[in-house]
């Protein structure tokens, strides 16, 4: 027991040292040119507050490292700057020095989550709540049964080693939309008090199940059913874990709780092994990116083949659509090192896609990742992005991510790619 505690402590110290070293290496590349500010969506949305822009985040990280180097502790207020980063990586695409302010922000959040080097507690109560409920129930809101309801009446092959893995992202959107509204209505203090109560009594998380956008839930369930229908039409035999499906830990990772994420990802990997999984079909870009890129870094035993559902649709034929259509590409596909363009490829099979000026490596995020903690910022960014998509003159706007859909659905022209593909499928 003493040996285990000692080893955990040693690993924790190594992790912290590596974290600070990685942050140092990233920020010292900055030549302070400001190019990143021209593409960072949070800067204009915040009224050009420099601390809520890409260069400001790098500057704050640099100041933080300076304080830690001098005093071993920091009293800087850093949470708003790092937590408001969308993790879109638009800044990296234009930085001549190769700095990724998204990565800087993630490392900054990890320092906040660790909290041993900060004099003030910068952790967000709602982030603590999500992490503690996820660790306890393997779902951010303790709603595993609710998250499996979309599959009622559908048939899966429990003997298949190919897993249809929702990652719970489509199912959680109706709740996060409402939770964000509750914070705006009740205010920060009351929301924090509720979050702290749930953190210490994770069983109460089921109360959040009462806060749900029913109309959005119906839409999200339909998208999952349409993805299932497409894969079935392509004759893919697949298993689905239903209520046993573990959430992948996306929020835990995104919020910077790295030690917790490492342990959690171990548990998820073990469940996949126990269920005989070899191939994982993901249905959203966040889960795809997490499993494909982050899991192998943190879990050496993670040896699964991870794909996105459009990888399996080559044999299908689709009816042509002559209406002008645009696509909002997901940041977690298009702005990542290994860009993935499955959604664009399939949209182009059906229709002539007209892309907005900010597309490809110049893509602008929908603002969705900020919805829970910075609702107003998120609204402002999504309005701007929606207008850019409408300015293409297209009558239809396609999305390929539940977060993007949830944030951009400002009129009936917005549709998830799954339903668009299913509607045009030649039977
Ligand atoms: S573009 Fe790169 S080098 Fe220039 S200020 Fe931003 S992070 Fe620094
Ligand atoms: S990742 Fe996106 S939101 Fe974060 S600093 Fe870079 S451009 Fe701005």
Question: DSSP of 235-264, one letter per residue?
Answer: T---B--GGGPPP--HHHHHTT-HHHHHHH
| Residues shown for the chain | 427
User: pLDDT of 238-253, one tens digit each?
Assistant: 999 999 999 999 999 9
Other C-beta atoms lying within 10 Å of the C-beta of residue 311: 13
Please tell me if the CB atom of residue 274 comes closer than 6 angstroms to any atom of ligand 1. Answer: no
Mean pLDDT across 270-281: 98
Burial class (CB in 10 A: 0-12, 13-18, 19+), 413: middle
Please tell me if the CB atom of residue 364 comes closer than 6 angstroms to any atom of ligand 2. Answer: no
CA distance 226 to 209: 24
Please tell me if the CB atom of residue 87 comes closer than 6 angstroms to any atom of ligand 2. Answer: yes
Pocket perturbation via mutation, ligand 1, pick of 37, 89, 97, 98 by most ligand atoms within 8 A of CB: 97
pLDDT of residue 24: 96
Answer left, alpha or beta for residue 37, where phi above 0 means left and psi between -120 and 50 means alpha.
Answer: alpha
Counting from 1 in the atom list of ligand 2, the atom nearest the Cα of 39 is: 7
> How remote is the CA of residue 83 from the centroid of ligand 1, in Å?
19
* C-beta separation of 78 from 109 below 8 A: no
* C-beta separation of 52 from 42 below 8 A: yes
pLDDT of residue 5: 46
Tokens 């069983």 sit at which residue? 203
Pocket perturbation via mutation, ligand 2, pick of 49, 56, 88, 384 by most ligand atoms within 8 A of CB: 88
Say which ligand is closest to the CA of 34: 1
* C-beta separation of 66 from 87 below 8 A: no
66-70, 355-359, 362-366: least confident range: 66-70
Residue 188 has pLDDT above 80, yes or no: no
> How remote is the CA of residue 363 from the centroid of ligand 2, in Å?
12
Query: Tokens for 352?
Result: 């002539």
CA distance 331 to 90: 8
Mean pLDDT across 153-174: 96
> How remote is the CA of residue 56 from the centroid of ligand 1, in Å?
10
pLDDT of residue 101: 98
> How remote is the CA of residue 288 from the centroid of ligand 2, in Å?
20
* C-beta separation of 294 from 254 below 8 A: no
- The answer to whether the Cα torsion of 82, 85, 88, 94 is positive or negative is negative
Please tell me if the CB atom of residue 101 comes closer than 6 angstroms to any atom of ligand 2. Answer: yes
Please tell me if the CB atom of residue 195 comes closer than 6 angstroms to any atom of ligand 1. Answer: no
pLDDT of residue 185: 62
Query: Tokens for 90?
Result: 């638009």
Tokens 């073990």 sit at which residue? 270
Query: Tokens for 400?
Result: 């390929």
CB neighbour burial string for 234-243, b if at least 16 within 10 angstroms, e if fewer: eebebbbbee
Mean pLDDT across 47-74: 95
Please tell me if the CB atom of residue 95 comes closer than 6 angstroms to any atom of ligand 1. Answer: yes
Mean pLDDT across 194-216: 69
Please tell me if the CB atom of residue 88 comes closer than 6 angstroms to any atom of ligand 2. Answer: yes
CA distance 160 to 21: 44
pLDDT of residue 182: 60
Please tell me if the CB atom of residue 95 comes closer than 6 angstroms to any atom of ligand 2. Answer: no
Residue 9 has pLDDT above 70, yes or no: no
pLDDT of residue 119: 79
12-26, 103-117, 193-207: least confident range: 193-207
Counting from 1 in the atom list of ligand 2, the atom nearest the Cα of 54 is: 5
Per the model's pLDDT, the better-predicted residue between 155 and 130 turns out to be 155
Mean pLDDT across 10-15: 58
Per the model's pLDDT, the better-predicted residue between 181 and 377 turns out to be 377
Query: Tokens for 232?
Result: 């079935």
> How remote is the CA of residue 399 from the centroid of ligand 2, in Å?
20
Protein residue whose Cα sits closest to atom 8 of ligand 2: 40
Strands 305-308 and 162-165, sheet pairing: unpaired
pLDDT of residue 12: 55
Say which ligand is closest to the CA of 31: 1
Residue 425 has pLDDT above 50, yes or no: yes
Burial class (CB in 10 A: 0-12, 13-18, 19+), 65: middle
Residue 293 has pLDDT above 70, yes or no: yes
Please tell me if the CB atom of residue 55 comes closer than 6 angstroms to any atom of ligand 1. Answer: yes
List the one residue out of 421, 227, 426 whose CA is nearest residue 319: 426
The DSSP output letter for 416 is: E
Percent share of the chain, pLDDT over 90: 78
> 232 in helix, strand or coil?
helix
pLDDT of residue 7: 46
> How remote is the CA of residue 2 from the centroid of ligand 2, in Å?
42
CA distance 146 to 171: 8
Please tell me if the CB atom of residue 422 comes closer than 6 angstroms to any atom of ligand 1. Answer: no
154-158, 176-180, 198-202: least confident range: 198-202
Sorting pLDDT into bands at 50, 70 and 90, what band is 200?
A: low
CA distance 123 to 287: 24
CA distance 82 to 399: 26
For 282, phi and psi rounded to 5 degrees?
-90, 160
Sorting pLDDT into bands at 50, 70 and 90, what band is 323?
A: very high
List the one residue out of 38, 22, 26 whose CA is nearest residue 91: 38
Counting from 1 in the atom list of ligand 1, the atom nearest the Cα of 94 is: 1
> 353 in helix, strand or coil?
strand
Mean pLDDT across 217-224: 97
Burial class (CB in 10 A: 0-12, 13-18, 19+), 99: buried
CA distance 120 to 105: 18
> How remote is the CA of residue 43 from the centroid of ligand 1, in Å?
14
Residue 412 has pLDDT above 50, yes or no: yes
Please tell me if the CB atom of residue 400 comes closer than 6 angstroms to any atom of ligand 2. Answer: no
Pocket perturbation via mutation, ligand 2, pick of 105, 337, 361 by most ligand atoms within 8 A of CB: 105
pLDDT of residue 208: 65
Give how far Cα 249 sits from Cα of 205, 232, 286, 340, 400, Å.
Answer: 16, 27, 11, 22, 20
């Amino acid at each position: 027991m003493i040996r285990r505690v000692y080893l955990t402590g040693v690993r924790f110290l190594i992790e912290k040292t590596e974290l600070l070293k990685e942050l140092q290496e990233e920020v010292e590349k900055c030549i302070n040119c400001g190019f990143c500010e021209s593409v960072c969506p949070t800067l204009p949305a915040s009224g050009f507050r420099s601390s809520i822009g890409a260069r400001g985040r790098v500057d704050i990280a640099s100041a933080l490292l300076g304080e830690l180097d001098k005093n071993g502790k920091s009293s800087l207020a850093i949470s708003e700057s790092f937590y408001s980063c969308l993790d879109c990586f638009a800044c990296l695409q234009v930085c001549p020095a190769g700095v990724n302010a998204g990565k800087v922000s993630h490392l900054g959040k990890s320092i906040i989550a660790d909290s041993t080097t900060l004099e003030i507690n910068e952790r967000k109560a709602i982030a603590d709540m999500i992490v503690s409920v996820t660790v306890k129930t393997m779902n951010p809101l303790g709603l595993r049964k609710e998250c499996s309801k979309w599959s009622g009446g559908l048939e899966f092959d429990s003997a298949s080693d190919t897993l249809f893995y929702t990652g719970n992202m489509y199912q959680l959107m109706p709740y996060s939309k409402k939770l964000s509204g509750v914070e705006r209505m009740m205010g920060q203090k009351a929301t924090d008090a509720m979050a702290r109560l749930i953190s210490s009594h994770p069983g109460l998380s089921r109360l959040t199940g009462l806060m749900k956008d029913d109309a959005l839930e119906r839409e999200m369930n339909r998208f999952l059913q349409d993805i299932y229908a497409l894969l079935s039409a392509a004759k893919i035999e697949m298993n689905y874990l239903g209520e046993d499906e573990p959430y992948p830990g996306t929020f835990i990772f995104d919020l910077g709780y790295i030690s917790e994420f490492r342990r959690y990802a171990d548990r998820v990997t073990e469940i996949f092994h126990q269920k005989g999984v070899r191939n994982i079909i993901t249905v959203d870009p966040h889960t795809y990116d997490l499993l494909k890129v982050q899991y192998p870094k943190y879990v050496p035993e993670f040896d699964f083949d991870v794909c996105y559902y459009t990888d399996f649709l080559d044999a299908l034929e689709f009816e042509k659509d002559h209406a002008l259509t645009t696509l909002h590409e997901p940041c977690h596909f298009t702005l990542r090192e290994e860009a993935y363009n499955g959604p664009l490829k399939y949209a182009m099979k059906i229709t002539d896609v007209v892309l907005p000026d900010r597309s490809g490596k110049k893509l602008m995020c929908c603002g969705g990742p900020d919805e829970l903690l910075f609702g107003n910022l998120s609204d402002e960014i999504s309005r701007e992005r929606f207008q850019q998509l409408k300015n293409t003159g297209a009558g239809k706007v396609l999305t390929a991510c539940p977060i993007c859909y949830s944030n951009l659905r400002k009129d009936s022209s917005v549709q998830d790619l799954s339903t668009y593909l299913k509607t045009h499928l030649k039977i």
